[in-house]
Amino acid sequence: MHEVYRADAIQFMCANKDDFAPFIEDDKTFDDYIQEMSKLGTWGGNLELQALSIVLGVNIRIHMLNAPIWEIMNFDANAPTIHLSYHEGVWGI
């Protein structure tokens, strides 16, 4: 469902541009960033995970070796939580 999740994240980010545009880096415009993120295979990051957390109604916990758990907590602790692992530049569910 990668394509669906990517489209959901992009659509949410576009609908909430004021919340996401200030965090675009590398002197890119928001529109350029969205165009790049819309391409399959483009690496998604923090902004896309934040958008998906809200769209899917879940909190996200990211586990990394030798690092504290990174949490995206948009909902209370009783909400469903997705656990991701990130190691050596690779995401896993």
Report the 3 state secondary structure along the chain. CHHHHHHHHHHHHHHCHHHHHHHCCCCCCHHHHHHHHCCCCCCCCHHHHHHHHHHHCCEEEEEECCCCCEEECCCCCCCCEEEEEEECCEEEC
| Predicted pLDDT at 38 | 95
Question: What is this structure's pTM?
Answer: 0.86
| Predicted pLDDT at 63 | 92
In this predicted model, which residue has the larger pLDDT, 43 or 35? 35
> The domain that contains 35 carries what CATH number?
3.90.70.80
Question: What range does the domain containing 64 cover?
Answer: 2-92
As for how many domains the chain has, the answer is 1
